[in-house]
Amino acid sequence: MAFMYYRAADSGHKDVYAALPLINNERLKIDSTTPFIPSYVKRSVTRSSDPAQTYASRVQGRQILLENPARESKAKKEREEKRAQRTAERTRKAAGVISKKDSRKKGLWKLQKDETKFHLFLPLHSLWLGYMSELLSLLPQPAVASTDPTSAMPSAAGMHAKLIKADFHGAIVTVRQSKNPCLVGLSGIVVHETENAFKVITRNDQLKMLPKQNSIFVLAVPLYAPPALPPTAPTGTSKTILDMPHIELELYGNHFCYRAAERAGRKFKHKETIEL
């Protein structure tokens, strides 16, 4: 430990020990044989019968926090958060990604009246059927009808784990129960899924918003892999899943209030069924 002495012009060396504390009416002296911290601690611990042992067991060789560390200011945190947001926004703009606010302003998710046609979204539904066939590893439909169609069903445990994270754009959903009786029975192709609702196109060429909260939906999943259509097949003659063997599953909207991108990376836990 190094010490600094101050030399006065008229009085020689200044007594640096005069500023040290008095312990038991004795001035604490510091030299190479008696360092300050061990001497100070041993002299300050008056309730212990063996101060040297107390110092060796509790103080010596340890890092002791003498005061609270300096906290970061709230204003500094706010500035750093704003700076990070600006950096992320610049990166998103450079990558050509549009925000949800900008997409609403530009009306990217709004369909014109001549675009809300059921037959226009049948190709999307056909793509979804192929997607489900690959996701669930469905087998092709046998030439001879099986007496036990449940034998072709995939395992329930594996199917549920995949469907809960699947993309529903192009699927056909039907409202089975809802607190709003006007929604019961509505069915259509999902054209947009948000955190709290499904937007569907009905067979009557109407765009409907189906809220997830307090609703139970029926999702139709194909039982067999759909047959491949020839390249010359007309677009509007595609069959829907309701015209082929399928499985119906219930979706509880109260458990499903997540965006499609969030569901893909979320770990779901088993919950009891919430009645409407």
On the CB side of 122, CA atoms within 13 Å amount to 17
- Flag whether 249 is in a domain: yes
Task: Residue 197: give its domain's CATH number.
Answer: 2.30.30.210
| 172 contacts 188 by C-beta, under 8 angstroms | yes
DSSP type of residue 249? E
pLDDT (0 to 100) of residue 27: 56
At residue 81, the pLDDT reads 92
Q: Is residue 149 a part of any domain in this protein?
A: no
Residue 72 lies in a domain: no
Q: What is the residue range of 131's domain?
A: 113-140+154-264
pLDDT tens digit sequence for 51-63: 778 878 877 887 7
- Averaged pLDDT of the chain: 77
Q: What is the pLDDT of residues 201-214, one digit of tens each?
A: 999 989 999 999 98
Q: Is residue 181 part of a domain?
A: yes
pLDDT in tens, 119-161: 999 999 999 988 988 888 888 877 776 666 666 666 666 777 7
Residue 201, pLDDT score = 93
The predicted structure's pLDDT at residue 247 = 85
Q: What is the pLDDT of residue 113?
A: 81
270 pLDDT band, cuts 50/70/90, is low
- Does 242 map to a domain? yes
Output 169 or 153, whichever has higher pLDDT.
169
∠ Cα 46 50 55 (to 5°): 85
Residue 173 lies in a domain: yes
User: What is the C-alpha to C-alpha distance for residues 144 and 166, in angstroms, rounded to an integer?
Assistant: 31
Q: Is residue 3 part of a domain?
A: no
pLDDT the model gives residue 200 = 93
pLDDT at residue 11 in the model: 43
pLDDT score for 32: 64
What is the pLDDT, as a whole number, of residue 217?
93
Model-level pTM?
0.59
Higher pLDDT among residues 34 and 250, named by residue: 250
Q: DSSP strand E in the chain: where?
A: 7-8, 12-13, 22-23, 26-27, 172-178, 187-193, 197-201, 207-211, 215-222, 246-252
Distance CA 179, CA 154 (A): 33
Please tell me which residue, 164 or 11, carries the higher pLDDT value.
164
pLDDT (0 to 100) of residue 190: 93
Lowest-confidence range among 29-33, 126-130, 194-198, 219-223? Answer: 29-33
pLDDT digits (tens, 9 = 90+) for 240-256: 888 888 888 888 888 88
Convert the pLDDT of each residue in 68-121 to its tens digit. Answer: 667 778 888 899 999 999 998 888 888 877 777 777 777 777 778 888 889 999
Q: How many domains does the chain have?
A: 1
Task: Quote the pLDDT of residue 17.
Answer: 46
In a domain, 60, yes or no: no
What pLDDT does residue 228 have? 67
Q: Are strands 197-201 and 172-178 parallel, antiparallel or unpaired?
A: unpaired
